[in-house]
Chain A
């Protein structure tokens, strides 16, 4: 067993998942015999991406820092942007950023951490879990849990919502995968199992299912992409 574990890794142990090591975690990569995307019921998927690198940065000079270090203008509050080396920069407040490794790229995260003045680092890797929800029924499913309108035409790509889902605080970032609506949901680690179960329950009526990380990346997407 690896040293690092997500709070929900046990939920995969009894499932028919293929596992692999990533970033010090043992993660479910894909489910054996996964159904393919042309099946109509594949309209909603949930994936645990808590093994993914992430870190927070807090400081008065986030705008300058973001531009000088990553070559992009810092996104406005409650918006996000992708850097050239595949880092998703999420602006949470005028003085706070959250950075997530993008699924399609592997930035040198250790290097990124070194660039940041230590005083301003926030331990998002351990404080929060990251789930991804994707598929055409995402917004309908969210509406069972969250009072913010996260429908595709209202909550556009790269928008960020810091809101309540199933009575717990979450950060929602819309970051589509090609044509498929996709949302990152970040939740306090101690509430990760609770929210995971709440989402699974809400997904039930849409026949949503749990997928592994490899089911998302590299074109192996197995959920319908119609918006």
Chain B
């Protein structure tokens, strides 16, 4: 079956490759696809169809149909006609019950009369609940390969690319366009899905003298490769076209995200099959598929061929087959008379029989329908009606050349449109995408309904010039457009021959026959989009490449409408199948680390996420988690501990209007906040909902240093910028979250630790009281000391330039060593603040919580005229409250609820538990929860519904749970 050079353009014949298919070992050459190597080994049966398990072989040989789907190792749905063979590759058939040659699933076809179109919709929806039993059965039947859940993911990534002009398609039109655009000064990226440039020049027969074609191809390919303004990407598939000329391009290991100023689409056309009985069997293929096998892979597609044609290209196919040594039994010409063209003359000179005004009535199947042994021919009688089949011709190969459909999917992704033109019997591009308010796309070649080779080259050249001009490059004058030549004659108007016994397939993917399309229309689904969904036509792996046009013809005729101006169904990305691993690629997951992060790890911290940050949850063995958290909490209650609180947001608010700005942003009063004092900040939005909190230190009349929650820094910062602009206040806002790290030192011995260190501040209680702030130096490190009490003990937040934070942490730990100072994690910190009844915004509040519900009314300055959300807070205060946050405790024997467990009022939901923990200091379980206002008095009891449904009783207690006089933090 192999042909010598110059056949087999893609082959490296000195490199033999062995691979397995369906359990047998085969040999091919480097450059072979799985399908070409199989045909070279006389294997025609590649797969089984989706529904009836009919035998299928090569159809397009271009990776554009669903007939060639196979499993390669652990990868399903590989297209055998485009995947190159590799040494040791194991290829298996998909959708097979048993063996490919003897598929037990073939039995389904015997019941095909009971499986009409829409069968699924009619059969499985009742009785109610039946679908759940049918679904696994159907899923098992409708296999499209097997995903190996154990397979390891490979490293793939993504890359942005840029070009002035992107040219999709490396055929004669694309290469001409790229050259012209580059000559005009544009930077061009030329993208082609094949291993080498050339497109149809590499396999098609434009005229009798093939040497002329090869010369043209060689010249164009050399020029494109050598041009410094052109970058060539082969083996690359453009899969989608999105806004602003954003093109997604698949390569073997990488997804490219190309942004170009303009785009030339020269993606060519898809050859279309004819519709007749058994048109799907192995041995029936598109004419271009046979030519690809010959020219690209050096493989004879059969021994004795019949060519069915409705255009001049069929004669090129016959000529190619003849010259390659395939016996051409007949050319079945669907038109009434012989076309007067060079290729027809060449065929006639070779004394090949031509039967005019006829069509294939049926492909006669060989054993097991795994091949064909001949065709029956019928005369065409009048308006697409058939006379009775009059003749049978024996053959093992039937090539179809009856027309094309433009490969315009990319255009349609981005706003382009195709319509049917009755004059040419073709779909044609009727509208191009427009981006940025202007034209940014040009089409060329057969996509533009230009088929004559010289005209294609001229058309491509003009497209290249136009695209360069759109991108702002116009060194040269506008080249001529090709002579307007009608594409009439490329497509036969009705390549459809109904057969009394059916099995004329319109859609190979879904095993849909003429009667299925007609039945859909008869049942009322007479709109093409409805036919698509009801019959599932054009919804299979080939996405209508070979079925959309014939489906349009059949459905429109059945509906009694005119084809002129009609469009096909919506085209959506991706144009080619996209492996999920390429889409996933290398994902970026930013993680923020504090300056002390690695020290925490060295101290044995178990890290936990907190927004984008990583924070130490606790220090030590996870198996001892609970004890460790309790020990850390007790360390702060009894001695001293250090907590890394660098993740808190930190903002500088500076300028003459800083105090006024703060006064408007936050609920408290800040105009008269003394310099050196701290004040709590609570932020509400316009609807009065709590959005953030923190503290504000006033370091000057015009300077505030404000903290936010860990997750709130960016949001608060953005909000501040917005409101500053609206209010036109003279204030600068800077986000210094990462510039400053913060270490909280807390516990009754914390002052002693600081006093052991070299420092220039008077830390005694009178000189540095609670809620005051100072700037100074600790161990010669510049610091901002804020005396706060989030955990309810004597303590400070030490804010330090991040580059010196790790040093200061070390010094603090060393200074506290004799006092048993411990590093303390977030979990213990949360427990300690719960003991003090301090809320965490986002945990003890939600997206609807207003201050009065969270018992935060004390943080609202009533007398000031404005703060964001003030009016809403006032309106809501005047309304009846629906919930309130309370502290609760549980009896010692009670089970521990979880956060978000429901609180009840009778059998009604009253609210939820927001925080709960066992307090080692209080020796009982405490928590915060929302309950109904009428339940909220201290001493009342309410029920909590646990996750398993059990109800427990909780008692409402006064807040704070610990140190009600707040004496410990003020010492």
Contacts and interface: CB of A to CB of B under 8 A. Distances in A.
Q: Do A and B come from one complex?
A: yes
A203 B290 CA distance: 45
A152 interface: no
Interface in B603-648: 613, 646
Contacts of B586: 201
B421 interface: no
A3 B804 contact: yes
A156 interface: no
B593 A193 contact: yes
A204 to B, nearest CB: 10
Interface stretch (B552-560, B730-738, B922-930): B730-738
Contact of B806 (A5, A59, A122, A191): A5
Q: Give the interface residue-count category, chain B.
A: 35 or more
B342 interface: no
A194 B612 CA distance: 12
A156 to B, nearest CB: 15
B739 A189 contact: yes
A190 B613 contact: yes
Contact of A127 (B654, B736, B781, B807): B736
B803 A143 contact: no
Interface stretch (B158-166, B362-370, B838-846): B158-166
Contacts of B591: 191, 194
Contacts of A144: 157-160
Contacts of B802: 7, 126-127, 189-190
Nearest to B780: A3
Contacts of A194: 590-593
Contact of A143 (B161, B592, B781, B804): B161
Interface string A167-201: 11000000000000000000011110110001001
B594 interface: yes
B159 A119 contact: no
A65 B360 CA distance: 86
Contact of B801 (A25, A122, A123): A123
A147 interface: yes
A127 B586 CA distance: 27
Nearest to A193: B593
B91 to A, nearest CB: 30
Residue among B597, B702, B732 with most chain A CB within 10 A: B732
Contact of A5 (B157, B594, B646, B803): B803
A52 to B, nearest CB: 12
Nearest to A124: B739
Contacts of B737: 190
Contacts of B807: 1-5
B588 A125 contact: no
**Which of B257, B613, B806 is most buried by chain A, counting CB atoms within 10 A of its CB?**
B806
Given A5-B807, A189-B738, A126 B801 contact: yes
A64 to B, nearest CB: 17
A14 to B, nearest CB: 13
B739 A126 contact: yes
A209 interface: no
B703 interface: yes
A202 B586 CA distance: 10
Contacts of B157: 144, 202
Contacts of A126: 738-740, 801-803
A15 to B, nearest CB: 16
B590 A167 contact: yes
A126 B586 CA distance: 30
B370 to A, nearest CB: 46
Chain B contact surface mostly: mixed
B593 A190 contact: yes
A146 interface: yes
A104 interface: no
Contacts of B806: 5
Given A58-B734, A126-B740, A143-B160, A191 B592 contact: yes
Interface string B490-532: 0000000000000000000000000000000000000000000
A203 to B, nearest CB: 12
Interface string A110-143: 0000000001101111111000000000000001
Given A7-B593, A147-B160, A190-B593, A167 B780 contact: no
Contacts of B226: none
B590 A168 contact: yes
Nearest to A10: B598
A151 interface: yes
A201 to B, nearest CB: 7
Contact of A123 (B655, B732, B739): B739
Nearest to A192: B593
Contacts of B740: 123, 126
Contacts of A151: 162
Contact of A146 (B160, B259, B803): B160
B804 A4 contact: yes
Contacts of A201: 586
Contacts of A127: 736, 738-739, 802
Interface string B792-808: 00000000011110110
Contacts of A190: 592-595, 613, 646, 737-738, 802
Nearest to B162: A149
B801 A125 contact: yes
Contacts of A50: 803
Contacts of A24: 803
A145 B586 CA distance: 10
B253 to A, nearest CB: 10
B849 to A, nearest CB: 29
Nearest to B730: A60
A82 interface: no
Interface string A1-43: 1111111001000000000000011000000000000000000
A188 B593 CA distance: 10
Nearest to A2: B807
A166 interface: yes
B740 to A, nearest CB: 7
Nearest to A187: B738
B781 A3 contact: yes
Chain B CB count within 10 A is highest, among A122, A126, A166, A193, for A126
Given A3-B781, A4-B803, A198 B738 contact: no
A137 to B, nearest CB: 13
A123 B159 CA distance: 34
A191 B655 CA distance: 29
Interface string B452-477: 00000000000000000000000000
A119 B703 contact: yes
Contacts of A143: 159-162
A143 B650 CA distance: 33
Contacts of B780: 3
Contacts of B801: 123, 125-126
Contacts of A1: 807
Contacts of B158: 144
B595 A7 contact: yes
A119 B803 contact: no
A190 B713 CA distance: 13
A120 B703 CA distance: 11
B804 A191 contact: no
Given A59-B732, A119-B654, A144-B158, 10 more contacts: A3-B807, A125-B739, A127-B738, A147-B259, A149-B160, A151-B162, A190-B802, A191-B591, A193-B597, A194-B590
Q: Sorted from nearest, which 10 A-B pairs have the closest CB atoms?
A: A127-B739, A190-B592, A123-B739, A167-B588, A126-B739, A4-B803, A126-B801, A189-B738, A126-B802, A149-B162
25 contacts: A1-B807, A2-B807, A3-B781, A3-B804, A4-B803, A5-B595, A25-B803, A58-B734, A119-B732, A120-B732, A122-B736, A123-B801, A124-B739, A125-B803, A126-B802, A128-B738, A144-B157, A145-B588, A149-B162, A149-B259, A189-B595, A190-B594, A193-B597, A194-B590, A201-B586
Interface of B: 157-162, 257, 259, 586, 588-595, 597-598, 613, 646, 654-655, 702-703, 732, 734, 736-740, 780-781, 801-804, 806-807
